[in-house]
Structure 1
Amino acid sequence: MMALSEMFSQLCTKAVVLLALLLIQLMLLTKKLRSDTRPITTTQYLKLIERKNPTTCFTKRLRQEDAECRVCLSEFQEGEKVRNLKCKHTFHRDCLDKWLQQYWATCPLCRNQILPDDIVAKYREPQNQGGYIFSFWDLAE
């Protein structure tokens, strides 16, 4: 009986040590994940957009077919700042930047991705902490 009691005591001690080690590992992993997911400020977000899709000046000589911004529906004027996306759609810089700040980072027309999802999630993180953000997709469910 004494041997069984001693074995049970050793087993409990080993279980407590193992549990403590697992908790320490979990705390270290949580700390690492938090440091990797720091939120992105609006300024940083706009700089990333600029880096991926630089601003250019609209000229009618270069672009005959796509003569209006599909966000504000206004015709482009000579010298206005526009963004030409990789999907070949063109928008006023300010119109597109507002769109990208309010919605997921996709082209307003074809929905091609402009920025990776992880960057958008880091930008949206501070906005989500105040409460739930209602989206169009909530209506579809």
Structure 2
Amino acid sequence: MIPTIFSELYTVALFFSSLLLLKFRVLLRSLPGSDPPADRSDQNRVSSIEANFPAAPYCSDPKSAAECAVCLSDFHKGESVRKLDCKHVFHRDCLDRWLTSPAGLEGSSCPVADPEILHRGVLF
């Protein structure tokens, strides 16, 4: 009887200590200035994105989508957007995150052409 109680207490203590450690890691990451320095390859990739698909302020166009396919938020006049060669338009930051993410590096360069993002709806 006694050994099973200690075994159960040990399991519960291990579970809660794991949760506490996870919470602490999340708290540390939320502190200002705690972001890890950007990888050099990511910086090069973003520079390449900027060169190939320069950002421009959004102007409403009845022929194009009214929302970003990555974050599913509506575009607002003057927001910084990027247009890909396929003519799809995205928020600049959303597309940059997509293109530098593992999904963007391994898959299609367009989030709309990736069936996985269409099923999930939200990338991040």
TM-score (norm 1): 0.47
Question: Which whole-Å deviations, capped at 9, do the CAs of 1:83-122 have from their partners, x for residues lacking one?
Answer: 00000100000001111111234100125xxxxxxxxxxx
1:107 has 2:110 as partner: yes
Tell me the residue number matched to 1:117: none
What's the secondary structure of 1:42's corresponding residue? Answer: helix
Deviation at 1:66, TM superposition (A): 1.2
Name the CA distance, whole Å, in 1 between partners of 2:47 and 2:98: 15
Q: Which runs of 4+ in 1 moved over 4 A?
A: none
Tell me the residue number matched to 1:45: 45
Deviation at 1:41, TM superposition (A): 2.3
Provide the aligned length of Structure 1 versus Structure 2: 71
Name the CA distance, whole Å, in 2 between partners of 1:40 and 1:87: 28
Q: Aligned AA for 1:78? A: K
Name the CA distance, whole Å, in 1 between partners of 2:80 and 2:55: 6
Gapped runs of 5+ residues in structure 1?
A: 1-38, 112-141
Q: Aligned AA for 1:79? A: G
Q: Aligned AA for 2:90? A: F
Name the CA distance, whole Å, in 1 between partners of 2:83 and 2:67: 12
TM-score (norm 2): 0.53
Q: Aligned AA for 2:110? A: C
Tell me the residue number matched to 2:25: none
- What percent identity do the matched residue pairs reach? 42
Q: Aligned AA for 1:82? A: V
What's the secondary structure of 1:41's corresponding residue? Answer: helix
